[in-house]
Amino acid sequence: MTLGDEIHMMGNWFIIHFTENEGMAFGMKFGGSFGKLILSIFRIIAVVAIGWYLIKISRAKESTGLIISLSLIFAGAMGNIIDSAFYGLIFSESKFHEIAQLFPPGGGYGHFLHGKVVDMLYFPVLRGAYPQWIPIWGGDEFIFFRPVFNIADSSITVGVFILIIFQKKLFKKENQ
């Protein structure tokens, strides 16, 4: 697949859309090359902290739901770190209508911790246009659930939602 290619799995409801995310969630960037390094180091520190906390709560026999939700966050963060750390080292630059090469002769397009994260899952559930009478956006295309994401992002999101929705139940032992 080349950058921007799409495979429609269920009509226009589920699409595999190959894209490379240079920064954080929703493609936001953080201060160029130096910002990318800071973001990668922050991710590593966060994963180490979550891993340490997971070991602590596992030994203390805390709530299984808490362990599962934090494990989902940990696994998703690790997946994105691995992508960011190594993708740029082993692949050439992706361009529209040009397939990236695995282990190119001159090396990859980026340095360690400077790679992009591959996103591919796209669920444009509702499509339409804003009514003309709405200021600024009138007549513009509307797509509900526009972000393209990957399985690691899904894992983080599900883990965070579990923590938010069931927080009173999951942290009951700590609150007492």
List, by residue number, the catalytic residues.
119, 153
Distance of CA 70 to the CA centre of its chain: 16
Contact criterion met (CB below 8 Å) for 54 and 67: yes
C-alpha dist (Å) from residue 103 to 21, 84, 90, 106: 20, 16, 5, 8
How far apart (Å, rounded) are the C-alpha atoms in residues 124 and 112? 33
Contact criterion met (CB below 8 Å) for 57 and 71: no
